[in-house]
Chains A and B, each alone.
Chain A
Amino acid sequence: MSRLRGAPPRYWLVVIVVVFFLGFPTVITSFQASLWAQALILAIAIMGLNILVGYSGQLSLGHGAFMALGAYTSAILAHRYKMDYLLTIPIAALFTGLVGFLFGIPALRLSPLYLALATFALAVVTPSLIKRPDKLTGGVQGIILIQPDPPGIARDAFATVTGTPMTSDQWIYYISLACVLVLFWVAWNLVRHRPGRAMRALRDGEVAAAASGVNIAGFKTLAFGISAFYAGTAGSLFALATGFISPDAFPVSLSIQLLVGAVVGGLASIPGPLLGAIFAYFLPIESNQWVPSQSWIPDQIASTVKNAGPAVSYGVLLILIMIFAPNGLVGLARRGYELLQKRLRGTNDRETGQLPPDPQTV
């Protein structure tokens, strides 16, 4: 009990968030659960990008390509070789991770700006590349996947809580949630230990890191590999959740969406990708449907926003974030929390009233 009392508030926050996401599908419709599953999947990919960009300081504009690789690996194994889809997820993740690791080797020679361009090129060519071997990938027709039915035990358990049996959308939500929990836990451990410290060191000063004995090349490629591993998992789940993949499902804008999510949530933080994913996923959907439904917005502006699609809302949001919350939503929340504590305790209490700076999350 004393350990529990001593636990910092963020541990309680984790418990609450986990309980929330576990219970969420019981109160929303199956369709809404399918949307949230997509958001969770995006969170995994953004966490991967966060490890690369936020912790190791390398910019990638091409993570959509790694998602595509993961998605197609799973889809081909499941569709052509009739493997159980759940088994294909780790295979796709490992394979994508390996490819990411290999891609990281030449990418190492590039300075950050050129790395961004190289990865951007990867994102641009991916849809075309997928179309070529059309015997394998289904070409432009894509691959239709059958969504798995939930196992009997899960279906019944769900039915006792809500009164209706679990649908496959809800099952996929829970699969995605399980992956999020495991992968976020792994990421949390990773960044708090040796590799995380090494990555942050090389992000903040490559020469200094090298002088302190950090294997620069090793950790850079490792970050790339891990990041691709996450993207591959997300891609595999994405294919499952959509039930259909085709080359144009992985446009350049997907990579941009991931980056927006990472920045909006807050780089170099663990909860950041989750918040960023929720925003990056729901913002375009909501803004596209909300803006035209508002009669007070002039037709001209509404139709411009509609024609430009999600780009407008992304642009506006990014600018606002840059101005008001350069550390993303997590930075904003943290600052708000500190201000609140200052208020509550008064400035005399405990010297400054501020939490000690946390070396793990800076």
Chain B
Amino acid sequence: MGRIAPRLAAVAAFMVTLAACGGGTGSSAQTDVGVTSTSILLGNTIAQSGAAAAYGTIGNAELAYFTYINSQGGVNGRKINFKILDDAYNPAQTVPLTKQLVEQDQVFAMFSGLGTQAQTSVREYLNAKKVPQLFVATGATTFNKDFGSNQWTLGWQPPYQGEAHIYAKDVLANHANAKIGVLYQNDDYGQDYLKGLKDGLGDKSSMIVGSESYDVTAANTAAQLTKLKATGADTLFIFATPGFTIKSLVTVTLLHWEPAIYLNSVSNPQVYMGIAAKSGAANKNVTSVGYLKDPTDPQWANDEGMKLYKTVIANCATCKPEDGFNLYGVAVAYTMVDVLKQAGSNMTRANVMKIASSQLNETNPFALPGVKVQTTSSDHFPIMQEQVITWAGTGWKLQGSLIDERGTIK
């Protein structure tokens, strides 16, 4: 054994070291996990790399708002700590990262997790653990509609189906004889939009002459757009994430196709339209909807909310202030802070969930005037008002007035 003993000893020492490094995190006595007398820990998973990396800045903007709140003294004396992890828009990564945040980092709640598939993948887990999955950054209708069966999960932004209803109304009013082609991402998110559009058109849904889907793993959407053009469609709906939307706008121009274009709100920040234009997109006749103030719109230059946004976003070195996604992040973080403030001294997961899902009644300074962030015991869709916007070469123009879709999705 003589020769083996030293070897064994060395390995044993190594293993002990490893074991010591991997040692568990003991849980300390708290009123609720993730809350101390001086801090609240929130967790987040978001795509900061991969196919939907454009959304990544949202997490940073949210952090910027929490930093701002902390500099003002925090929420009832508690500072908000916010841990962001990159899941690359891949649901298989969302699961272990969420487990890490819940079990290892011991977050109080998950906040603004992004991606329909990604958030679906952890909904069961978070509900089983009774960890709030608050204000998920997806408008998939299920996150609000199915609150009854998932009482620890809630969305924030207007549901995709509601948004699509508004497009349907706009088409019926302005392009009554349109031949509609739809390009959509082949997942819950794209299909949700498509369903909303069909529902909104009702018995006129035969106006849709073609619908083509792309997978999020695809390189571009040229083949789908060529097919749609061949159907003779004169109105194009693009239900796609920012990267694919930009490519699609460019491709439409390259195909010498000039349809009326409807763009989903999750890809419409002014900066992305600008990138598309720079890459050669004509961006003619483009319609979308908005519910937040556009940071590039000069009409808000002296608006209090916009001034606050500029102050807040200065806390984030890598955030472009003109990117509408940053405003989104700040706006949703505002609601989160609002909920935490209302929870006050009763900072438990259950109480926070109760306030968020049934007692919200907020005028968000970053949303368009008139937009209410509201929930009641029977209505779990926080935002249901949106306004039609059209592209005017360098920026979006608000059209008409707010359209309220509350109560249209059962």
Residues of A within 8 A of B (CB): 5, 9, 12, 16, 20, 24, 27-32, 34-35, 38, 124, 127-128, 131, 140-142, 144, 169, 238, 242-252, 285, 288-289, 299, 303, 306-311
Contacts and interface: CB of A to CB of B under 8 A. Distances in A.
Contacts of B50: 309
A304 to B, nearest CB: 10
B105 to A, nearest CB: 9
B124 A140 contact: no
Given A246-B121, A249-B90, A299 B318 contact: yes
B95 A309 contact: no
A28 B121 contact: no
Contact of B91 (A29, A31, A34, A142): A142
19 contacts: A12-B7, A16-B8, A28-B22, A29-B104, A34-B96, A131-B215, A141-B120, A142-B121, A242-B96, A244-B120, A246-B91, A246-B92, A249-B90, A306-B86, A307-B56, A309-B49, A309-B50, A309-B86, A311-B49
Nearest to B122: A244
Of the listed residues B23, B124, B125, B215, the one surrounded by the most CB atoms of chain A closer than 10 A to its CB is B215
Interface of A, helix, strand, loop or mixed by DSSP: helix
Interface stretch (B184-192, B247-255, B305-313): B184-192
A169 B104 CA distance: 14
B103 A29 contact: yes
Interface residues of B, number: 44
B8 A27 contact: no
Contact of A140 (B1, B90, B122, B191): B191
Interface string B1-41: 10010011001000100010011110000000000000000
Contact of A16 (B11, B92, B186, B215): B11
A28 B95 contact: no
A180 to B, nearest CB: 18
Nearest to B216: A248
Contacts of A251: 90, 217
A288 B215 contact: no
B80 interface: no
A310 B117 CA distance: 20
Given A248-B187, A252-B217, A309-B49, A31 B103 contact: yes
A309 B85 contact: no
Contacts of B91: 142, 244, 246, 248-249
A141 B92 contact: no
Contacts of A24: 19, 22
